[in-house]
Chain A
């Protein structure tokens, strides 16, 4: 594609989309420019797979993927932001989707660079991937699996493996007790579900929530404040907290 063709195509795209989301329109334009002017750097899916390890505790991708702390990533390319049924998105993410944010190479690249700057109010606690090449690799990896089919009901709770915290996972937590205990958490973790330097813990599924607390308690995940906070929590308390935070919707 020559530069002139690129511009013509970009302008047509801009005109065509009756309701063109400004970010998507401009970003498509910018992306096409980028593609035309510099021979776009090829991402390496294998390197991307390694980098994806950092995302795995929250996001599943591939056959039978399910929603966890974050939405599953099957069918991501071309998907409107904030649209999966049953996943508790921040209202900021849903709004951006309604206004036209669609995931593609360019929008993902921008989002992954600095999530909180691209979608202010996102629940995703990830700080961002600053290296351009790394983002290209991860996007290449996501692409290779994007056409896989997710689980039939991606939000249904998974049968959990026998693991740490299993006893708490088997309990039915009392959300009222959880609400009382939560007052210690919300001094730092905002009840609105926003993540501004401290992760959002609102609307998590039970299993990863309980696992995370046990990992802090036993110092598998080392964090001084969280270890101190969890050290005196028993199974009933952990289950209650999971029930309460899981029942909340992010704003």
Chain B
């Protein structure tokens, strides 16, 4: 027999019975309202879980600036030619039709925390009882001297998926044998720690497939070490010998500037010239978080590790890349995991439903070459001061081909799983 979900149960009880079960607050003002800013990995998951688990008892509104969402995850596989653009792009129709979420296509311009109201770009206002802020990141263009939003039309960052990703692919596909690619990697903290190095792997895969053995990829990194470094470097030696050069700060001595006109990256050591230059600048929480006064000096938002509730405002939760999530990396998996904790806390606040202790998890898969996948992951729990790792794992160097292939296939399953979990089925 199929189980009766809480949702159908609420429906069966009828409005009278249901309202008796609600706290005074909701009865006084009609259904409580949960509003989410940002329909990405974090925000869309939170909206779906609140709507799915609370059903008719809660009004859920999702405010998203774009009509469609292209995932950054697997955008590197699109660069490498393993996926098409369509397959990494998702719509919001199921969230509206199957879960009853009000999806508002518009940009949130301001949050009035006293009035508990979000103002959209067109001037309309959306009132809330609880608000989730999940805007992802904004790029700090001038963290790299000479770089700017205009410069990104020539030197794409492609660190927000969409037209930037397509531009980067067009430029990658236009490379000729012997031409060089330069990547300026980002400083910590940034979204997807292994992302830049998976991207370089995918670029190398494209060059290798075309037989462009005279081309090189140079990484200028402001960090002395990077995520899954041993695994990536082993993979690069194995699959792309001599093609990829990585320079940490002790070698290049500092990034002085980039010049979009000449395609040059100037460092203390030398000037590197690329036919394609991929600049990934420093990052901060999406602008609306700072506008709402939720971000601290780090540019990101402090939260309560037990619930993802903002330390600045009890009515607001910050999830995903915009939050300071302790030991958790900024990833789609993390954002999805945090969303579930926040959604549960909000149902607890507004409907008095049971709140279980928070648990978080993350796994990041990366592809180095066809069928050579690696992964890193951990479990987390709230400690007094942060979200702390409780156990972790990482792929080993020297693993069998079969293990690596299984890891890659698992990542394909994960992509299907998480996008179903975010956007609904």
Contact = CB atoms under 8 A, between A and B. Distances in A.
Contact of B421 (A191, A196, A197, A228): A191
A183 B340 CA distance: 7
B413 A187 contact: no
B416 to A, nearest CB: 4
Most buried by B among A181, A196, A251: A196
Contacts of B420: 190-192
Given A190-B425, A228-B379, A232-B391, A196 B340 contact: no
A198 B417 contact: yes
A218 to B, nearest CB: 14
Interface string B357-392: 001010100000000000101110100000000111
A231 B413 contact: no
Interface in A155-192: 175-177, 180-181, 183-184, 186-192
Contacts of B3: 175, 247-248
Nearest to B53: A179
B336 interface: yes
B2 A249 contact: yes
A188 B418 contact: yes
A194 B2 CA distance: 18
A224 to B, nearest CB: 4
A251 B417 contact: no
A18 B333 CA distance: 51
A227 B417 contact: no
Interface in B6-57: 49
B409 to A, nearest CB: 5
Contact of B393 (A177, A188, A225): A225
Interface in B329-365: 333, 336-337, 340, 344, 354, 356, 359, 361, 363
Interface in A113-143: 127
Contacts of A9: none
B416 A197 contact: yes
A189 B409 CA distance: 13
Nearest to B393: A224
A225 B390 CA distance: 14
A34 interface: no
Interface in A210-237: 224-225, 227-229, 231-232
Interface in A9-61: none
B412 interface: yes
B395 interface: yes
Interface extent on A, as a size class? 20 to 34
A247 B390 CA distance: 30
Nearest to A177: B356
A231 B390 CA distance: 10
Given A187-B336, A188-B418, A247-B3, A180 B392 contact: no
A192 B425 contact: yes
Contacts of B381: 232
A187 B395 contact: no
B25 to A, nearest CB: 24
Interface residues of B, number: 36
Given A184-B361, A192-B425, A198-B413, A224 B340 contact: no
B410 interface: yes
A180 B412 contact: no
Nearest to B339: A183
Given A225-B393, A228-B392, A184 B359 contact: yes
B379 A197 contact: no
A251 B393 CA distance: 33
A197 B410 contact: yes
B393 A187 contact: no
A154 B282 CA distance: 60
B393 A197 contact: no
B410 A231 contact: no
A231 B333 contact: no
A187 B417 contact: yes
Nearest to A251: B425
Contacts of B391: 228, 231-232
Contact of A225 (B340, B375, B425): B375
Contacts of B393: 224-225, 227-228
Contacts of A249: 2
A53 to B, nearest CB: 18
Contacts of B247: none
Contacts of B272: none
Contacts of A175: 3
A196 B375 contact: no
Nearest to B343: A183
Contacts of A181: 356, 359
Nearest to B2: A249
B399 to A, nearest CB: 11
B378 A228 contact: yes
B379 A190 contact: no
Given A198-B413, A228-B361, A228-B363, 6 more contacts: A183-B49, A188-B413, A190-B421, A197-B410, A225-B377, A228-B392
Interface of A: 127, 175-177, 180-181, 183-184, 186-192, 194-198, 224-225, 227-229, 231-232, 247-249, 251
19 contacts: A181-B356, A187-B333, A187-B418, A188-B410, A188-B417, A189-B417, A190-B421, A190-B425, A191-B425, A192-B425, A195-B413, A197-B409, A224-B377, A224-B395, A225-B375, A225-B393, A228-B379, A247-B3, A248-B3
Lowest 5 CB-CB distances: which A-B pairs, in order? Answer: A197-B413, A198-B413, A224-B393, A197-B412, A183-B340
